[in-house]
């Protein structure tokens, strides 16, 4: 049973969301402490066009079901890049609509922040995220590999 995409809403993290979102953030970042989360999330929540932040997805009942932290960076390519460290979607049934809603909202955020490209870290099990990011022709130019050192 797939949730309809229309039942997923996505918005920037606000100060009112910080404590509620910690549990979801902790699923993606196992060594994240409450203190570090609050410090970073409070900075993200301060400004409409901040160069870093997080998007939160909620289902039709208002439950938090997704998180996507991002930062705008300048790299060697011309223009700014929206870097997305993780896209986390939580659903007991089907996370696909959550992933699609977050991917679409990340594209919108990148455009609003005048970014020319978006780089998203994906894991081995992130097939739904890769599918959501490749819906447009020529949308994926490379794969980012992260390894421990």
Question: Is residue 54 scored above 90 in pLDDT?
Answer: yes
* Torsion angle of C-alpha atoms 58, 64, 66, 71, degrees rounded to 10: 100
Q: Give 100's contacts (C-beta < 8 A, 6+ positions apart).
A: 5, 8, 128, 132
Domains and CATH numbers, the chain: 5-133 (3.40.630.30)
First to last CA, the chain: 41
Q: Which two tokens stand for residue 75?
A: 């790299």
80-135 pLDDT, tens digit each: 989 998 888 988 888 889 999 999 999 899 889 998 888 887 765 666 666 776 66
- Identify the bridge partners of residue 70 per DSSP, sorted by sequence position: 53, 84
Its pTM surpasses 0.85: no
Return the pLDDT at 149. 36
Question: What Rg, from alpha-carbon coordinates, does the chain have?
Answer: 15
Tell me which residue has tokens 């594209």.
Answer: 107
């Amino acid at each position: 049973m797939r949730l309809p995409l229309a039942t997923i809403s996505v918005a920037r993290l606000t100060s009112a969301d910080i404590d509620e979102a910690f549990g979801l953030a902790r699923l993606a970042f196992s060594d994240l402490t409450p203190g570090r989360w609050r410090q970073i999330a409070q900075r993200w929540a301060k400004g409409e066009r901040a160069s870093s932040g997080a998007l939160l997805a909620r289902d039709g009942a208002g439950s938090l079901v997704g998180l996507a932290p991002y930062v705008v960076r300048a790299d060697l390519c011309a223009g700014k890049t929206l870097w997305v460290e993780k896209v986390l979607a939580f659903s007991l049934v089907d996370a696909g609509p959550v992933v699609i809603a977050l991917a679409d909202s990340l594209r919108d955020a990148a455009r609003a922040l005048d970014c020319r490209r978006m780089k998203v870290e994906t894991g081995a099990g992130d097939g739904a995220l890769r599918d959501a990011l490749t819906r447009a022709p020529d949308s994926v130019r490379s794969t980012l590999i992260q390894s421990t050192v």
